Structure formats: C-alpha cells, structure tokens
Amino acid sequence: MGRTGAFLTVDRKARDLRRVDERVRDFDELTKGLGERARREQASRCMKCGVATCQAGISFGGARPSGCPLHNLIPEWNDLVYRGLWREAAARLALTSPMPEFTSRVCPAPCEAACNLGCHGEPETIHDNERAISDWEWAHGGPRRFSPARADAPSVAVVGSGPAGLVAAWELARRGARVTVVDRADRAGGLLTYGIPNMKLPKEVVARRVRLMEELGIEFCLGTDVCAQGVADSLRAEHDVVVLAAGAGAPRGLSAAGFEEGLAAGGVAWAVDYLTDATRALLDGTGPALTAAGRDVVVVGGGDTGNDCLGTAVRQGARSVTQLEFMPRPPEPGCGQGRWPEWPDTLRTGYGQEEALDLMGGECRAWAVDTLEVLLDGAGAVRGLVVADLDWSGGRPERVAGSEREIPAQLVLVACGFTGPRAEVLSALGVEAGERGLPAPAQPGSHRARAAGERPVFVAGDARMGASLVVSAMADALSCADEVAAELGL
C-alpha cells in the first residue's frame, strides 16, 4: 500500500492558520487548505502499520480515547488519497463516519496522538486528510443518498439535534425508520451550531447537512422544548421509540462567593450561553446581547470551550482577556510525555489563546488559580474577581497563604465543563437518574434507559456518558442506533 518509505522523506505539513492580525477581524474560517498534490503527498506518509493504533478507539474513560472512537479505516483511505482515488476514499470513510465534515473540523484528533509515526517524529495529517476527503465529496454531489422511509415504517423521535442527535437520526433513517428531530433552539445543530464558533465550524456546513437530511425525509421540529407542558407525553405517545440526545447541558458552576449575584447582574455568564449569543448575532446580522467590547474579560476554565471564548472575546473587541485554570500548568510537549498511545497531557495553545497572547503582548493564561469571590460595585455590576494561587506539589490543591489578589473583570465567562443532561429533561421523559445524574440504564451497558411507560427511551452521546468529544458522542450515537434498530426490527 502507498508509497514505501515516504514517512522518512516527506515532512508533515498541516493546514495553515490565517495570520492572527487578519483572522481576528472576522468570524471566517481559521484555516487554509493545501492543494491536491500537497495533500496526496501528505497522505503518502502513512506507514500502513501492521497494528494501526490510530483507528483503535480504546477508551481510557471520559474524554480520553486513544485512537479514533469511530474506528475509521485510516490507513486504507490514506492510501486511496495518495493514489488520487477520492471517490473510493469517500466511500471507505462513509463506512464508519457518517458526518466527517464535522469531525474533520472540530475533533482534536486522538487518532494522530496514537499514530505510530508520532512515536519518533511528526504524526500523519489524519485530521486534514479526512477534511480533504469530506470537502471533495461535498464538491462532487455530497454523501450517498438513501430512500426516504415508508409511510408505515416505525417512528422514532430524537430529542436534540447536536452531534449525537444528527448521527442517530441519520443512521435510523438510513435503516428505514421515520425520524423526527426535536430541538428547543431556533436552528438545528445543537453544539455544532451554537456551541462552536463560526471560525472553527462554519454554520453553512451544519445547515448543508440539515438540508440534506430534510431532503431524505427526516423532519425537524425546532423551537420545541421537551420540558414544555405536554411535549414529552406527545412524543412518547406518537412515536415507537424516543432517543434522548440532548447533550450534557448542565454546566459546572463556581463555589465562589458572589457567583449567583454575578449571574443575576449579567457580568457573569455561562460560556456556552456567551458563545450561543455571539453566533446567533452573527447569523441574524444583529449586535450581540452579551458583548466583550471594551471590557476586561476573564475566562474561568480551560479546554476547547474556554479557548473559543477567548477567540470570540478578542473578535468582539475586548480590552483585555485572561484565562484562569484550576489545574497546574501541563508539561511542555516532548519525548516521553504521557503514556502512548493515550492522549498526552501536555501544554497546548489553541487558536483563541494564540490570539489572546497577541492582544495582550504576553501570556494571558494563569494556572493553579482558584476563584474565591466575584466582586460587584456599588451599582451591582461585576467589577472583578478575588483569586488565590494553588499548590499542587502534594497531589491535592492547597491554597497558598497570602496569595489572594484582585483582578479586574467586567465580564466573567464560566467554562468549567458540564456534569450531564439537565435534570428537568430526564424528568419530562420519565427517565430515572442514576450515577452522577446520568440516565440509569435498563441493563448495564445498554443505551435503553430505565423509564416510566411502555414505550422505550434510549439515550445517546453526552446525555448518556457525560461531557465528551464530538467524535465520541457520534460513535455512541451509532451504537445507540444499532440497539434501536434491533428493538424495531429494522
């Protein structure tokens, strides 16, 4: 397969990021692609390993997979890209990944962390190769269609239109079910539309997929909250199965004094609410209701969501941006860090952090910091935070005496992760809450939830597992669809 020894002679070349001073002026896509010749050369670097750990999809728990959770046939489509067989590569990718246009843009690429080539050099550009395949497919007619369901086919309601909801709906419709997707938002896509900024995932990419799903007979009922009176009962009465795929919508808050008062005053906001407002304003052509313009912005929490908040705040014209991380500073990337092929716990600088570094003229991140208090001025507006340093040398955080200090902030964005699905969603559907507030399974390992009533409720994605990666939620949705199909005899 492929070009023997290319991994020894061809250097890794990833998609280019636009220059910082250019990209912070707009919400357009961050990256620029390579030409076809260069992309095929990159694909030739794949070693076609005897044991392709890139596609293993081993889980170390939570958001810590090793290799691709979808088990994409990576060496096979790398070889097809190298040979210029794009249609065949798209068909091979479609066997395992129903929506690669999303994963190839927002996935952190655990496949590359598990790439054998990365043990002694730079890994294969798997993420970018997948993007090139998906782009080619959409430019040449789009994904392969299937026939709409028969009028007498089993009916499934999918609650939530994020990554898991879209994948579950697509797969069940492909197998012959009549599918209705219900979402409380005004646009389909969930996290893909409102939780990830346009510069990382252009919203036309999401809308394009939704239009295709509608063409294939999948119905979308937007602006419909399952928690509203009578909605859940109607769904369970009118459909043979309900699939709950509403994500992990319960955010993790702060124990800091004044936190609730800050939320009420509007100077403290949940990160996803802030990102949602920014994207809705962009799509509607209006000004954001919650803006960072002219403000000192503090993002509490790291991860992708915190990084996205930084990038959005910079674009909105923040006066300053600071990111506080509770955990200690990770080690620099380098040989021997982490346990290969597990995702390495090393320092990373995302696009938003890079832009914030440029704005601030230096490091905007502070590690091992605890937020103690949200400060309000005499008019009740947020004016700052009281923070303190943490000492992790003993393995557990200990507050450093005398390190308390104030930092200015008129906008505090809380990006501390999510605990699980909203309790009111489970209650509305009659689903029993189990460990960590997640839906209790009818049987260990099953996607079917323990729920009141005769008709079953299945759960997929982050609503079942807690917060994870987009690719992990999609993989779980495919597994859920398998169980639902078996239940319905599809």
**For residues 297 and 299, what is the distance between their CA atoms, to the nearest angstrom?**
7
Amino acid, single-letter form, for residue 333: P
Helix 74-82, helix 126-139: angle, nearest 10: 60
On whether the CB atoms of residues 459 and 439 are closer than 8 A, the answer is yes
- Write the burial class of residue 11 (CB in 10 Å: 0-12 exposed, 13-18 middle, 19+ buried): exposed
Among residues 386, 362, 360, the alpha carbon closest in space to that of 373 is found at 386
- Torsions phi, psi for 471 (to 5 deg): -65, -35
Among residues 166, 461, 421, 468, the alpha carbon closest in space to that of 304 is found at 468
Per-domain residue ranges for the chain?
A: 6-139, 155-250+419-488, 253-414
Amino acid, single-letter form, for residue 59: S
| 3-state secondary structure at position 57 | coil
Which homologous superfamily does the CATH classification assign to the domain defined by 6-139?
Alpha-helical ferredoxin (1.10.1060.10)
**For residues 249 and 262, what is the distance between their CA atoms, to the nearest angstrom?**
20
Nearby residues of 417 by Cβ (< 8 Å), 6 or more positions away = 251, 252, 301, 303, 305, 467
Q: Do domains 155-250+419-488 and 253-414 have the same CATH topology?
A: yes
Residue 323 in tokens? 């990111």
**For residues 58 and 66, what is the distance between their CA atoms, to the nearest angstrom?**
5
**For residues 70 and 174, what is the distance between their CA atoms, to the nearest angstrom?**
18
Residue 298 in tokens? 């503090």
Give kind and range of the element (H or E) at residue 477. Answer: helix 470-488
On whether the CB atoms of residues 371 and 256 are closer than 8 A, the answer is yes
CB half-sphere exposure, 373, CA atoms < 13 A? 8
Which homologous superfamily does the CATH classification assign to the domain defined by 253-414?
FAD/NAD(P)-binding domain (3.50.50.60)
* Predicted local confidence at residue 321, as pLDDT: 96
Q: What is the CATH number of domain 155-250+419-488?
A: 3.50.50.60
| 3-state secondary structure at position 207 | helix
* Predicted local confidence at residue 479, as pLDDT: 98
Q: What is the residue-level pLDDT of the chain in tens, covering all 490 positions? A: 667 888 889 999 999 999 999 999 999 999 998 999 999 999 999 988 888 999 998 877 655 678 999 999 999 999 999 999 999 999 999 999 999 999 999 999 999 999 999 888 899 999 999 999 999 999 999 999 999 999 999 999 999 999 999 999 999 999 999 999 999 999 999 999 999 999 999 999 999 999 999 999 999 999 999 999 999 999 999 999 999 999 998 899 999 999 999 999 999 999 999 999 999 999 999 999 999 999 999 999 988 999 999 999 999 999 999 999 999 998 887 645 567 788 888 889 999 999 999 888 889 999 999 999 999 999 999 999 999 999 999 999 999 999 999 999 999 999 999 988 999 999 999 999 998 899 999 999 999 999 998 899 999 999 999 999 999 999 999 999 999 999 999 9
